[in-house]
Every structure is written in C-alpha cells, then in structure tokens.
Amino acid sequence: MSECRVLLANADVEGIERLPVYEAHGGYRTLRKGLTEMTAADVAKEVLDSGLRGRGGAGFPTGRKWSFLPNDGRPRILVCNADEGEPGTFKDHYLIHRLPHLLLEGMILSAYAIGAGRAFIYLRGEFLQGYELLEAAMAEAHEAGYLGEHILGTDYSLDLCLYRGAGAYICGEETALLDSLEGKRGIPRMKPPFPATAGLYGLPTVVNNVETLAAVVPIVAEGAQWYRTMGTEKSPGTKIYSMSGCLERPGNYEFPMGTPLSELIEAAGGLLPGRRFKAVVPGGASAAYLTGDHIDIAMDYDSLAAAGTMLGSGGVIVLDDSVCIVSFTERAIEFFRHESCGKCSPCREGTLWMSQVLGRLERGEGSEADLDLLLDLTDNIAGRTFCAFGDAAVAMVASSVRMFRDEYLEHFAQQGCPLEKERVG
Amino acid sequence: MINLTVDGREVEVEPGTLVIEAAKKLGIDIPIFCYHPRMKPVAACRMCLVAIEKMGKLQPACATQVADGMVVYTQRADVKKAQAGVLEFLLAQHPLDCPICDKGGECPLQDQAFAYGPGATRFSEPKRHLHKAWPLGPRILLDQERCVQCQRCTRFMEEIVGDPALVLKQRGAETVVDVAEGRALNSPFAGNTIEMCPVGALTSRPYRFRARPWDVVAVSSVCPHCPVGCNLTVTNRDGHLLRVLSRENEAVDQGWLCDRGRFGYGFLTDPARITAPLVRRHGELQEASWEEALAAARAGLAGRIGILGGGRLSLEAQHLLSRLRDQHDGAVADWRVGGQHTAVAPAAQGHIADLDEAAWVLFLESDPQTETPVAWLRLRQNVVHGRGARVVALGPRIAPGLPASQVLYRPGEGARVLAAALNGQGEEALVAALATEEHLAVLWNGKDPALYAVLADLAGRRSGRTSILVTGAEGNGFGAEAMGLTPRAGEGGVDRLLGQAAAGELDGLFLAGADPLRQAPDGRLAEAALSGECFVVVADVTMSPAASLADVVLPLAAFAEADGTLVNMEGRAQAFEPSATAAGQSQADWLVMAGLLEETVTLDEVRAAALARLAAFKPAAPGAQDWQEAAVVRIPTLYYRGVTPEPHLVSMEPARVVEVAPATARDFQVSDGEEVLVADGETELAVRVTVTDSVVPGCLVLGDWPGSNRVGAGARLVVRERSV
C-alpha cells in the first residue's frame, strides 16, 4: 500500500516553504474560506466533528479540548507546541521545515475558531533552521495580509509570536511549556486548573501540537466527513509516522490511522538485508516495546493501548537482531535521567537510579536480583510521579525486562554485552 | 460543608479543604516533606500519596481537594508501598551523615524513614557528591547532598517574603538549591528556611555543630526585640543559650520569626556584658558588691531625680520602677528615651491578626517591615495572597517593601494631612481609605504627638472598623506606658530631663536599660547631660557608652536569663522563662528594681500586681515631649542594638547613607552615590548619598547607626573635598 498524503501532499514541491509556491498549490485558500465563508463556531464544529485527536502524544480530541475554554470574556490564547523532543519522533521538524505556511494557516484557522487574538509558537530550541524558516514565513504571511490586523480584510486579527525554547524535553509537557514561555523554569504545573481556564499568564489557553494544527487545514478545506473516510472510527484521519531504526529508508510517512505496522515497515523499505526483526518501539522512547507477535498491529491510539504500549507522537523505532536491548534501553533511560526536571522525588531519583543500574547491567555487572529491583523501581515510579514523564521513563525499562529477560541473563553469563563482543570480535 | 471518609471514619470539612487537612482533623497523620500549610501545595515530594476511590492513581493528599462522598485510604497496601518507595528514593542519594548532622534527632526525614520507610536500602550504586557547606548567606549554610528538593525554602522566599533570593539550579538529579545570580540570602526572614527544612540541608551558622537535640533543653520564651512579641522556643545546653526557634502562635506570629529574633542572642555573650555591679571610685568604675552598689545608687538617686528608659524592661520591673519614681518627691520618669511619643493606640487598639482582615492599610510614618517585621510579613500575605488590602503610605519617607499609594509631607505635617483627608481633601487613595466602610488598619510609628489626637478622632468618626497598631516602640513600650512610666501633668519629658541634667538642675539620673547617647533624638544633648555633675545610675545588660560614664552600674540579666512578662503592640501580656544561666552576678531586672526599693518581693506578687495594673490601664495621651522631628528623619532599625556588633547580623546593619529627594540633592549640589558629610555644628558624619523619590524634599533621612543622632535641625550636606 502506498502513502496517503494529506498534510504532506505538497511536501516534495520545490520551494513550497515560500509563500508564492505555497499559494500556487492552494495555500491559504482554506484560510480565506474559513474567515470569509464560515463563522468561528463553524470552523470549531468541523474540527470537533472530524474526530481529530491531538498528535502530540496524548491523543485527546482536539475539538473537545477547544470546547473547554470558558465563555467569560477574557482574552484567549493559542499556543503551538513545536517542542518536538521525543526520541524517535521527527514529524513536526519535517512539517516546519517543508511546510511552514501549512502550520501558519492551520494556526490562524484554529485561533480564529477559538477566538484567540494572540498565538505563540513554542519552538524547540535546537530547531534553529526551523526558526529562521518560520520567521521568514511569518514575515511573508504578514506582508500578504494573512497575519496581523484585519486578516484578509475581515474583522479578525491575530498577533503571532515565535519563541524558542532552551532545550528541555519536559517543556513539551504543555504546562511546563507555558511556564517556560512565561520566562520561568520549565516544570509542570499543578492541574487543575487546566490551561483552558488558566493557561499562559493565567488566561484561557489552548495548546496544540504542530501536526494537529496543520491537520485543521485539510479538515476545514474538505470537511469533517471527508476526513473521517480515512483512519479508524475512533482515530480518524491520517498520521505522519516517523520511521527510524534498522530500516532501508527511514523517514516520515503519512498513512491513514490504523495502518498495520508491517505496511509501515514495508513503506520504509523494510529491514536491512539479512536482518531479523527483534522489536519495535511504536511511539517514541516513551512507549513500551512490542515484539514480532505484533508485527501486524493496527497503528492507532486504541489498538496500541490495548497491546500495553502507545502510539504517542508516532515515532516508530524498529530494531533488528543487531541491536542489544539492554544497551538500547540504557540509552533511553539515560535520556530520561538527563531530561527529568527534578521536581518530584520518584522521577528525579528513580531515573538516576535506573540509569545507574542499567549501565551496570550493560557492562555485565549484576545479577538476576537486579532485574527484580529494576521492575520494582519502575513500579515505584509509574503512576507516582507529578506528571506523565515518570510513566514514559519506565515504559521501555519495564517492558524490556519482561520481554527480553534472556538478553539480560546473557549479559550476566558473559559478563558483558554479547552483541558488543560479536562486533568487536 | 463536605462529608468524606478517611480510613473508614467520616469527617465534615469546609469546601476547598485539602485531603491532608481533612485527615488531620481526624488525627490521621499523612507523612509530608514539601507540603507546608502556609504555602501553596506543589505536590513534589510524593510522600503524601493516598488512595482515593474512583481515582485510578494514588493522589497527593497535600494537593487534592475534598469532594462530597470521597473515600480516602491512607493505610492501604498500595499506599504503604508508595510511601516506602518514595522514602527509598529520597534516601538513595542521601548522604546518611546523620551522626554529624545538626538535624539528626529532630529530622522529619529520619522520623519518616523510621515510621514509613523500608528497613534497608537496595541502593548499591555510588552516591552523588555535592557541596557540603555551601554558604547561602551570612547566617545560613546549605548541604546540597542532604537536600531533598522539597522547595520549601525557595517557595518561602518567593511566596511568603517576596524576595526570590533562593532558586533551583540545574535539573533532574542534579537539581540544587542556590542563591539566585548575584544575590545573597540576607533577607530579614531568611532564618525561617532553616526551621522549615525537613532535612539537615539548611543549617544555622551560629548553631552549627554546637549541640544535638538530646543535649539541649527547650524553654518557652518571647522575643524582646520589637513590639510584635513573637513566641520563641529557646534551647540551651548546660545553661548556655544556643538557639532560638519559633513557637507558633496563630494570633501573633503564625510560626514565623525575623532574623533579629532568631539570631539576636549574641548580646548574651557580648564581651561588653556587665558581669558585676560597678561603683565609680577615684574616677574609675570598679567592681563592688550588690549591697554596696545598691546603697550607692540609692544614695545618689536623691533630691531632684529623673528616670529614663524602661521600654526594654519586663513588665514586673516597670511596675517596680514606677513605684520607685512615686517614692521620690518630684521624680520624673519617661520610658520614651528614643523620642517615641506612645506605644499604645489612642483608640481602636488593633490586634496583629487584624492585618489578615483589613481591606485598607495606612503606613502612617511607619516602616513596619523594619519596625515590626513579622507583623509586616503577615500583612504582606493579605496584600499579595489574601484579600488584597490596599496600602497607603504617608510620611516624610515612604518605606519600601509593598506596593502603596504614597503621600509625602514634611515632618510635623501629618496631623494636618490626616485631618484634611478625614474631611475629604487630599490624595484620593488616602481619602478613600478613611472614608471606606471597610476595615482599615493603621500602622503608626507613634512618634508625632500631634497625630495622637487626630487618630483618636479618626477612630470615632469612621463608620467602618478601625484597628490601630503602634509599630515604633521598644519591645515592651506598651508595658512601660501602662505602668505609667511617662511624665505626669506639668512634667517634662526625655529632652527636658536631659536638658536639666546638662544644666546641672538634676541631682540624679537613673538610666533603666537605656542609653540616651545611642537612642536619644539629640545625641549631643545626651552627651552634655551625662558629662555633667548629675549622679548617674545605669542598669543594663551590656557596657553601653552611657554605662561607661555612670557612677553606679547595675548588671541586668538578659531576656533569656530571667523571668518576666512582655506586653506587645496589641496589649497582649506574654510571660517568658529563664533558659540560660545569668551572666556573672547579673540579676533579673525586677529583682534589681526591688533592691533599689529595698523590698523583698516574689515574682508571683510583682507579676500579679503588674498584670492587675495592665488590666485596669486606659490609654491616655502621654505627657509632653518637646522633641519634634524636623530636618533629619532617622530610619529605625532592629539591627544595631548591641554594644559589640553581632557577627551574624553585621550584614543587616543599616548602611551609612543619607536618603534625599532629587530637589534636596540639587540644593546641596550632591548626586546619587556620592560620598558626602552630614554636617551640623562640629559634627561631621561621612555618608553616601541615595537620591530617591520616597523622601520629601528638604529632609535628610539617616539610618539609625551610632552617631546619627548627633545631627539635627542645622544639618546640611557637604561634599568632602569642599570641607577640607
């Protein structure tokens, strides 16, 4: 099966990041339609009816998130979460680099729909090139009357601000993002209140992912019913899967939600010659492993949740038999140790402890008792931390011990990594 | 009301109550580290996780509000496992250096590890190493290894004090508490962080390695340094005072102390402590027996005598001192040696707790953050987090610290400004504050006599509730006034007494816990008084400059070394007990007064008499005080009281600056930051200029440091070069 490109339909067009080319391929026509032919409520209803679910990882229905904004007359704010930091996920990066105007068009439509006069893009600090591209695109959009005062001659005005983060994974969590955007230390806030009632500077705020906001354009252009013709009933539409790992052609691939994993792997060129499939992390480093038993699993929110893992932001990392699970897991937990904000005890101390234990196990120093310790540590972190980071940090560790216990035992037996020894010879 | 069940027991609480408080009401203890009832919850430590029916995950009891029908379990197996798990995490990297930790033995981490933790650790990795004695400021050290990142200290400084001097640096397991870039932890409230720290991370520099909790004896006491009268627990070891802690009294201090109160016990061991009675022989002060010294004092205090001081004495001593005055025909007593007019509200005597409720607050020539720090802290919670009281600050100098509408006027104009505002004229916010039906609190420094009558009038004319508190007096000024230590009709006050002494019209002068050289508004007059022919008796704790000029010196025990009673700014009498051995031969102040009276009394008798007198006390305008603030206004301080500077408080002493309005700076041709001299007659004081809009033009504002009372009406600013 080939790709189903909706968001990425024009991604390969030469110069699409510039306004004239984007306009030549239908760009901003949907914005004109939305602002001149539809009321804000119409746009919001279309998005609600489309069943679009947040593409940042949690999969919360976007239209419902918008509906939580209180009608109390306070100014509203739209924030685009472009702090894509999940290891294995690189779709927002791609959208920003190839289709910055699609993101802007989606943001303006969404801001119009929720009645926001101010919007912010919180961009991952490392995306310097993306920053420059977005800055240029915003200037073009301003110049052309798509941004700023009286957009397209209507009564609607939007002030959009681009902000670079400082390189903290936790700032992808929406309340930490808001604190960071306010110039504070980026750590998750207490909820409630939720951003819809008290977000940026205490104002009603919607935070949406880049891919989510981009998807608003085709939904408004073609309608909710059309959007629902793709994907599954509970996860409608298409999804950009970031395919990485041991594949012939890693990259971003857009498919309908619920496409079997095997088809995604095939689209990405399949495994490298002579290699056997070992495992997949289907939703970025925060997701638990799946083994070959699930090679045909439908890649949507509910099917993956039922299998004990998650779709997350759609970062699919495929591992073959050349990859040491212990080493790979240790690398992942090292990431989480480094990125833990340190606010709550189980996450701060637990990620450090787990990384210390896994580092030791990878070197072959340890015993089977350490595996029980590891599992118990994951049990003492999961569900006990302030935010979802803790659950994310333990998913891979816990599933690796449960699914690949033999690989750990082999490390003890050989007092080191067998695959490492094989490589070194 | 909300009904919920905790561990099978029903409880009814107000809506909005936190689960942890609901459990507390049932006597169910939920362990905590980061939660503090006076601060917003952060749910960071995860120690208080409890199980709540219909909620998938365990919830932090410190941050979860009750709901009707909620069913909470604090003892379920999953809760127990979570508690043990959190403790194991907290202890994993903890240095476990309890045997050398000041907190050991009174440490919540130890206690909770014992009560809720696993018996042994499974942690076998190398521990992280960080700074062990990291100075945050002059009074506080941080052991970064012991810190559990509960953020109580950082939150206290930011949320309660409004001075975000402490921050978290780095992230994850590398997170450390530290002083914000370019700052030092030198807030007058910083010491509270030591007591709030649930581990041994923040330690007191003076107390460091001095004792273990089982070595010390704790005694209830009351802070003598300002008229708030914060309640204290004082701990001593073998009779030596080692530490001052808070003793929460909701009505007074809410469990906070300022650093003057917490660290201000260095004067007990001041090298200048008077340890024996002294009598001047052949021009030299020499040790004498109590009998000899008392006899000499009695002999010297004959004829026309004046008694100055008493605002720092116990209520019992004040009572006896006023009897001493009554025994001498024509003797005049005045406690107000520092130029205070009154310590008691003319009407509508306020309570400190009123500061929670007030909708409007007047800072009437008052600097409450400096004069009554803990009362100010309480008011700040109202302004910033509570009902949002509006502050109107008026006077010749507006004190910094809280957002306020400002009304500047020249010294002595307060009564006119206030009276006009009562009639609807003047600055809008001031007029509104007086006219409102809402609760108005007035914090007055109690100096300008003309304001006394206006305030008495104001309380009667307002329809809304009024609470007046006098902030400027000494710690027991209220008691001194109640015991009648003010001039009676026809008598002169402090300055007239000093003038008489200087003119040789006084035979004897008794300085009771007072040093006019330091305290009197006119230091030069005080000097003339003490160097005259007048016989001078001094009763004091340390060898003050005045004491060194005296003919008889009687050593007093300090507050922590004796029994007594202090009456705070709201008229609340609070008793304190001895918690340290009195230095040398020093005696409780009331015993010394009894000795001068040649009476044998017991504490109970004197206390009963004094309290009866306090109960019967009706405020009335105190007698005359000729002195009036004019060209020079002095900023009060709690931090320059001792003879020898206290090492941990040196950094809090007032800077040698003169604050002037831009117009004044122009008149004297000086500029901000410039080193100048304040000159008046032969006095020249070296100071640095601060130009500010918070001072009325024409006024020179000086800190209350030694010598700053030697300039007065003739003071002018002179650039140093020009004077050479």
- Tell me, what CATH number does B378's domain have? 3.40.228.10
| DSSP conformation letters of B602-667 | -HHHHHHHHHHHHHH--------------SEEEE--SS--SSSPPTTTGGGSPPSEEEE-HHHHHH
Nearest-CA distance B82 → chain A (Å): 6
Residue B58 has its nearest CB partner, among A185, A379, A384, at: A384
From B54, B75, B96, the end of a domain falls on B75
Average confidence (pLDDT) per 10 residues, chain B, 724 residues:
97 97 97 97 97 96 97 97 96 95 96 92 94 95 97 97 95 96 92 98 96 94 97 95 96 97 92 96 97 97 95 98 95 94 96 97 97 98 95 96 95 95 95 95 96 93 94 97 94 92 96 95 94 95 95 96 97 96 96 97 97 96 77 85 80 92 96 95 94 96 92 89 53
Please name the residue of chain B whose CA is at the shortest distance from the CA of residue A365: B125
B452 shares a domain with B538: no
B258 shares a domain with B139: yes
Do B172 and A340 make contact, defined as CB atoms within 8 angstroms? yes
Q: In total, how many domains does chain B have?
A: 5
Do B175 and A380 make contact, defined as CB atoms within 8 angstroms? no
**What pLDDT, on a 0 to 100 scale, did the predictor assign at position B644?**
79
B334 shares a domain with B482: yes
Please name the residue of chain A whose CA is at the shortest distance from the CA of residue B169: A185
- pLDDT class of A1 with cuts at 50, 70, 90: low
Structure tokens of A132? 């420059």
Residue window 29-68, chain B: list those with CB within 8 Å of chain A: 41-47, 49, 56-58, 63
B428 shares a domain with B574: no
Residue (of B264, B123, B267) closest to B204 by Cα position: B264
ipTM of the complex: 0.94
From B228, B250, B269, the end of a domain falls on B269
Please name the residue of chain B whose CA is at the shortest distance from the CA of residue A185: B168
Residues 6+ positions from B284 with CB-CB distance below 8 Å = none
Do A380 and B90 make contact, defined as CB atoms within 8 angstroms? no
Nearest-CA distance A378 → chain B (Å): 10
B284 shares a domain with B233: no
Q: Is A385 on the interface with B (CB under 8 A)?
A: yes
- Domain encompassing residue B680: 632-719
Residue B46 has its nearest CB partner, among A340, A344, A353, at: A344
Do A348 and B42 make contact, defined as CB atoms within 8 angstroms? no
Give the H/E segment covering residue B580: none
B559 shares a domain with B581: yes
Q: Is A97 on the interface with B (CB under 8 A)?
A: no
From B14, B44, B75, the end of a domain falls on B75
Contact (Cβ atoms closer than 8 angstroms) between residue A149 and residue A108:
no
B80 contact residues in A (CB cutoff 8 A): none
Alpha helix ranges (H) inside B183-314 = 192-196, 259-263, 290-300
Do B125 and A190 make contact, defined as CB atoms within 8 angstroms? no
Please name the residue of chain A whose CA is at the shortest distance from the CA of residue B85: A380
Between the two ends of chain A, the Cα-to-Cα distance in Å is 41
**What pLDDT, on a 0 to 100 scale, did the predictor assign at position B638?**
87
Q: Is A380 on the interface with B (CB under 8 A)?
A: yes
Q: What is the mean pLDDT of residues A393-402?
A: 97
B359 shares a domain with B336: no
Distance of CA A91 to the CA centre of its chain: 8
Residue B87 forms part of a structural domain = no
Residue B561 forms part of a structural domain = yes
**What pLDDT, on a 0 to 100 scale, did the predictor assign at position B118?**
87
Residue B293 forms part of a structural domain = yes
Q: Is A344 on the interface with B (CB under 8 A)?
A: yes
B244 shares a domain with B136: yes
**What pLDDT, on a 0 to 100 scale, did the predictor assign at position B25?**
97
Cβ-based contacts under 8 A for chains A and B = 95
B49 shares a domain with B16: yes
Do B82 and A345 make contact, defined as CB atoms within 8 angstroms? no
- Max distance between CA atoms of chain B, in angstroms, equals 89
Do B44 and A356 make contact, defined as CB atoms within 8 angstroms? no
Residue B118 forms part of a structural domain = no
Residue of A334, A339, A349, A381 to mutate for B, most B C-beta atoms under 10 A: A349
**What pLDDT, on a 0 to 100 scale, did the predictor assign at position A250?**
98
What are the pLDDT digits (tens) for A227-276?
999 999 999 999 999 999 999 999 999 999 999 999 999 999 999 999 99
B603 shares a domain with B646: no
A392 contact residues in B (CB cutoff 8 A): none
Residue A346 has its nearest CB partner, among B86, B125, B167, at: B86
Residue B50 forms part of a structural domain = yes
Q: Is B171 on the interface with A (CB under 8 A)?
A: yes
Q: In angstroms, rounded to a whole number, what is the distance separating the alpha carbons of residues A281 and B197?
A: 42
Contact (Cβ atoms closer than 8 angstroms) between residue B609 and residue B601:
no
- Backbone phi, psi, residue A276, to 5°: -105, 145
B16 contact residues in A (CB cutoff 8 A): none
Please name the residue of chain A whose CA is at the shortest distance from the CA of residue B79: A384
Do A385 and B46 make contact, defined as CB atoms within 8 angstroms? yes
Residue B94 forms part of a structural domain = no
User: In Å, what is the CA distance from B304 to each residue of B268, B425, B507, B511, B676?
Assistant: 34, 48, 5, 15, 43
B50 shares a domain with B133: no
- pLDDT class of A89 with cuts at 50, 70, 90: very high
Contact (Cβ atoms closer than 8 angstroms) between residue B65 and residue B172:
no
Residue of B40, B89, B155, B178 to mutate for A, most A C-beta atoms under 10 A: B89
Contact (Cβ atoms closer than 8 angstroms) between residue A325 and residue B160:
no
A360 contact residues in B (CB cutoff 8 A): 125
Nearest-CA distance A419 → chain B (Å): 25
Nearest-CA distance A284 → chain B (Å): 21
Does residue B262 sit in helix, strand or coil? helix
Residues of chain A with pLDDT > 90, as a percent, come to: 97
A170 contact residues in B (CB cutoff 8 A): 171
**What pLDDT, on a 0 to 100 scale, did the predictor assign at position A88?**
96
Q: Is the four-CA dihedral A105, A110, A113, A116 of positive or negative sign?
A: negative
Structure tokens of A139? 């200037």
B122 contact residues in A (CB cutoff 8 A): 373
* Strand ranges inside B396-551, DSSP E: 405-408, 440-444, 466-470, 508-512, 535-540
Residue B53 forms part of a structural domain = yes
Q: Is B86 on the interface with A (CB under 8 A)?
A: yes
Do A342 and B171 make contact, defined as CB atoms within 8 angstroms? yes
Contact (Cβ atoms closer than 8 angstroms) between residue B385 and residue B162:
no
Q: In angstroms, rounded to a whole number, what is the distance separating the alpha carbons of residues A30 and A221?
A: 5
Nearest-CA distance A67 → chain B (Å): 24
Residue B322 forms part of a structural domain = yes
Q: Cis peptide leading into A418, omega within 30 of 0?
A: no
Residue where the block lists tokens 């100098």: B397
**What pLDDT, on a 0 to 100 scale, did the predictor assign at position B724?**
45
Nearest-CA distance B175 → chain A (Å): 6
B493 shares a domain with B363: no
